[in-house]
Every structure is written in structure tokens, then in C-alpha cells.
Structure 1
Amino acid sequence: MPELVEQMYCSQQIVIPPKYPYILKRYCKAAIKTQPYDLLRWSFEYFRALAEHRPPPVKLRLEYPIYSTEGGLTRGCLKVLAHQLYVMKEIPTSVLKQAWQGFCLDRIELRRILCLCEVYMREESVPFFHFLAVAGGMLTKCLTHTMILLCEALTKEPDGGSAAIPVDEFLTMYRYLAVMDASKDVKYLNGYREGAAPPEEVAEEESTKSDRKLKEMSSLRMVPDMDKGMVAGRQMSTTSGEFIVQTIEKEIMDYIDEQIAILPDPDLKKKKAKPEEKLMIRDILEQFIDDNMDIIVPEIEEVEEEEEPIPEITMVYAVPGIGGTVDAEIIDDFVEYIKEVCKVQAGTVMPRNIRHFLCPPLEKYIEPDYSANDPPPKEEVATDSKPTSPKSAM
């Protein structure tokens, strides 16, 4: 019994850090407000942000009902991301991925946003306002509502205020979204739209052609010219051994004949080599070439053609919050209106300016065709059980 009593713990024996209850209370409140999909992953990112003195991935309040995308992006997440990354005009993709994973959001949705920004697998950073504008378009149904949402996400005023933002930031995002075409589903191959070849491929093809020419030039080997004492370049390979033997043999025999023709003794000029002597010279020459073939014609390793890698396919679905390309006249009219309004608002734009009845449209209105959705007229059945159309029944 005395041993058991000595091992018992009491409140005096357990030392609790004084800040532990405060940290645990803040953590519980943040988890309740954020409602993360993966609590373990979010907890890691939460405490990591606190250790690095960064704003943690915590929503300002509980969202209900939650307006989110398939990847989990919500209006509250967008507002927190905007305040976390606002200090950077160009966001490195590594920093953006870290902030994105802090909310346990889907990576595929981030890839779609970067594809629409035309930076995926091309550049290592993305402009802040371009990313925020495209991400905001994922959460709305039209371009007008997207611009209102961006004002609410970027403003530093408390909830319920005027949600004013600088006019230059507003116009930067509007002009970027207005010229973008996201009205239909598009397939991206390695970050490029399907059917649009990347401009870098042309340079790569030219570089590969130049590399091939350099290899061909390097494959040229020097063959001694017995007549002129110079070198002549010929393209050789392991399959041209017979050609080399015949060429060198001919040059040697021509050289011997020329030397005989120079001799002063006319009797020697008439002498010809016997067949057995020619055969002996040929055997010696072939033996010499076989022994020194590695020097005369070095082997060229055949490089197998590398298979083209399978491109990374990203399917980007239509984004109603961005829509199709806006006409230049509509853009000019709206920009002129906003510039006039911001003169009396200290250079800021507010959502109420967009909702005002004098505000020109931000996008082209397409009237829906309700007739296409009308069901076809049903056939009426007569008393004699013969089907008749409505016209015949009348």
C-alpha cells in the first residue's frame, strides 16, 4: 500500500502551463467557427501558423448556410485568404498551396483556378488580384455578383459596413474577368488550353533540330587523304566499314601507281603488281583496319527515342460567375461610370455603386429561351382508344 500511495498523482504534482487553458480555448473556438473538413490536417496548419507568427486559417464567424464549391471553397475562406495574402502582389505558388491546404481545400480546384489564370505549369507565381478574382467567380452566378463579393472580401471594414475598396484594385479585377472566356467547359493539357499549342514548343523544336545537327557534325570523322596530305570529312557509322576499306584501298593503290609513274626507270613503269601481291596487300590492309576500327570509326551508341510523356489533363468546367467575354463598349461605359463615382468617394468603390439604378451593366445580358424548355404537347386518347393529336381533337 505505501508504494501505491507514493505513485498517486494530485493537483499539486501535475504542472499545467498558465497559457494552456487560453490556447486550448482559442483553438476550440477557431475549430467551431471554421468547421474544417479534416480536423487533424487543419489543427496542424493552425498551430504551425501560430508558431510561425502568421494569421491562422480561421474564419471570422460560423457560416450558415455554407455557400461552397465542390472543392470546399467558401466565402469565409476567400475572405481569410484575401487578408492573409494581401501583402503580396505576386503570390508564389508554394505559399498559395500552403495557405490553400490550411483550410483543407481540394487541390484540384486550386489547379483549375491556376489554369484559368494561365499560370499553371508555366510560372512560379500568380498575381494576387488575378487569383482572388477567379476564386471569387467560383462562388457566384454572374459577373455582377462576383464584383460585389470581391468588394466584401477585400474590404477592411467590419461586416455590415459599406465594403469600400480602392478603385484601382476594383478595376484591375474587373478588366481581368471581363476579357476572360469561362462560359464553357475547357480541357487543359499541361496548363494550356486544348488546341492552343504553347509558344515554347516552337523554341524546343528548333533547339532539338540544332542538337541533331550538332550530333551529325560530331559524327564526322577525319579520313587521311594520301594524295594531298589533307583531311577530308566523311560521315561514318558502324555500317560503313566496307566503304572505308574500299576507299582507303583505292587511295593507297592510286598513291602506289603515282609513285611508280615518277620513277626514272622506264622498265619499272611497265611492271604491274601480281594478283598474289595485290591479295597480300589487301589482306594486310584489311587486318590493319580491323585492328584499328575503333579508332577509325568509333561506335556510336544508338539512343532510343524517349516516349512522349502523357500530358497532365485538367478539366475546367464553365464558371457562371465569370461568364463569357464582355464587349469593349460595355467595359468602357462601366469603367467611365466607376471613375466618376469614385471622385466623390475618396477614390473607393462600394457594392451600392454597382446596385445603383444608374450603373450601366457589367456584362451582356442574355435573355433565356423559355420556349426550349416547354414540354411537348401530350397526345389525347379518344373514347375509341385511338390516339389523336390536340388539333384533330378540336
Structure 2
Amino acid sequence: MRFAVSRWTRTVVLLALVASVAGCGLPRSGPNKRELYSSSVQQEGNAFVVTVDNHVARAASAVPPLGFTNGFLGAGVIGSDEIRPGDVLGLTIWENVDNGLLAGPGMNSTALQEVQVDGEGYIFVPYAGRIRAAGNTPEALRRIITNKLDAQTPDPQVSVNRIAGDGATVSVMGGVGGQGVYPIERPTRTLSAMIARAGGVVIEPEIAQVVVTRGSHSGRIWLKDLYSNPSLDVALRPGDVILVEKDQRFFTAIGATGAQNRVLFETQTLSAIEAIAQVGGLSTNLADPTGVFVLRNETPEIANEILGRTDLVTTQRIAYVLDLTEPNGIFNARDFMIRDEDTVYVTEAPYVQWQKTLAAISGAATSANSLSNAANN
């Protein structure tokens, strides 16, 4: 009788534990492939699920290139001798008389050092008055001052020189050898020359980007494109801000991968295969290689092309599916480019859940036996 009760107790406890495991659900890293397909728009869900083939890989990999607008590209190189507000000038005036307007006794020349061009572009010269200097070359300003003084002193001679000032400068910041404010001079009138003047780039060139801000406008390019495409070596303007920084793009890897993390791009272009390799590849014990998903908010233009539609006008959620068990699937993964803020999700293989279920049942049976033995004792 005691044996029958003990056996009945073990059975009840085992069934209770198995039911408890089934009701609570087993731990896992996320939805499986079947669940993702069932949540597609085709199944009245809210995301399109698209299998990646050659056409999809090409269309979905279109990435808007970095570059400058026509306002930057069309700007001509400024004259290195053009006077601007903030510049500092040195003036020397010779007079052809013994007692001149400006010269002291026994002297026939007057030096006016460090004459700063004011914010409106003017300077003041005694007996010549307030004269507009900005926009003129030193030679043009020399003629203007000469004409102003000619009516008051015979045959005046004037010399105008530019001294270091803050009128035509740019700011260089970020990953360069020497951050600071630099004057636009004849050798440094273009973007690449100014970066070189600031000590060059000190971050990895492959992922270095250059941002130029001019007033309310800005443009961004790759450093390597700057040196390979002369048209991107734009002319600088006073007040420009140049920032050299690392590529800030990232993707998120989750699921059955070697590492689950937010990952920065290490190259200008990053394929799905490279992204998986960057996080340690697929987990050999967990991953379903037929269920590698790239989750993306896709532009309506690309979504229409991929889905063969013309009616989509807003951003669409698309889950791209890669099958790495076929040779062509691996090629497609190599050609499919990851974009900024993509999510790479690798589903678990179906047998993994069976293993977890069997392990849970086995654990439950062990627990039942332990409880039964305890009850018998």
C-alpha cells in the first residue's frame, strides 16, 4: 500500500511540474522564424517579410552618398589678399614736404601700425577720414587712401600691408593633430590644405568623416573621398567650422549570435556577412542559419521597388530574411549592405526548443523523484 501511494505521489508531482513548465514557457532569445513570418503584413501583421534574392540585395543596399551641396561646390577660392572685417593692417604714409600733415618734425613718413578693420569693414586714417577697407585688396586700398590725401598734401605715397588678424579664419576641431583657429592664407584656401595645416587626421582614415559648417548649412563627406575626388576639396570661407570625426553609424546584433551588442561600423560599407562576422558569427549551438533577419525602417521609394508596388508613401517596416544554408544565400548576404540603425536578428534553431523542453521535463522528473523520496522518508 505504501508503494502504491509513493508511486501515485511521484506521478502527480511530475505532472504538476511539467504543466508548470509548459504554462510558464521556456527561456529564449526572441521570436522564432515561424512567429516572425506570422506577424508579417501578409498575415495581417505590421511588417513586411521579404526574402533576400539578387534583386532585393541590390535594391535594399542603396545608401545615399555623403557629399556637399552646390553652395559648397560652387564657391570659388577667395583671394588671399582680400581685406575682411577683423583684419589688421599696417599703413605707412610718405609726404613730399618738410612739414607734412602727419609726419613729425624732421621726418617725411608716418607709420600707422595695427590698424584694425572694424566689424563694418572700415578703418580710420587721419585727414583721409573713415574709409571702407573690406572687400578691397591692399593695392586698391592704397590707391583710395592716396586719392583722399592728395588734395591735402602734395604727392603722398602710401604703403598698405596685411598683418596677422582674425578676419579670415576657420575653426578646425575633432580628430586632427592640432585643433584651433587658423587663418585662410594662400596655401590653405581649400579644405584638404587646411586639414593638413591643422596637423592632419589622427583617427582611422577608413572611418573618418569631415563635416564643414558654413552658417546654417553643413556638408559631410568621407575623408578618403576628399583625397580621391578633387571636386570635393571645396574652397573655404571665413567663419567655416571643420569637424573631423569617426563614423557614428551603428547596427544592433541580437539573438543567436556570438555577441549581442550595439556595434559601430568599422568600414564605409558593411555587408550582412561582415556584420555577422564582426559580432563573432552565428552561435553554432543555437542559431538557425535559415532565419537570419535584418530589421529596417525602409524608405517608401525602396519599399515600392522591392515589393513591386507604387502606393507606399511612408516609411515601412521590413524584415529581410537571409538563408545561409544555400550558396546563393551566402552570396546574397555578401551583397546585402547593412545600413545605419539596422537590427541583425538571428533566430534559434527549432531543435533548441526541443532540447530545452526535454531538459525541463528531465529536471521536473528529477525534482519529482526527490520530492517523492522525501515524502517516503
Q: Which structure's relative contact order is higher, taking Cα pairs within 8 Å and 6+ residues apart?
A: 2
In terms of fraction of residues, the more strand-rich structure is 2
Greater Cα radius of gyration, structure 1 or 2: 1
In terms of fraction of residues, the more helix-rich structure is 1
- Tell me whether the two structures share a fold, i.e. TM-score over 0.5: no
State TM-score, norm by structure 1. Answer: 0.22
State TM-score, norm by structure 2. Answer: 0.23
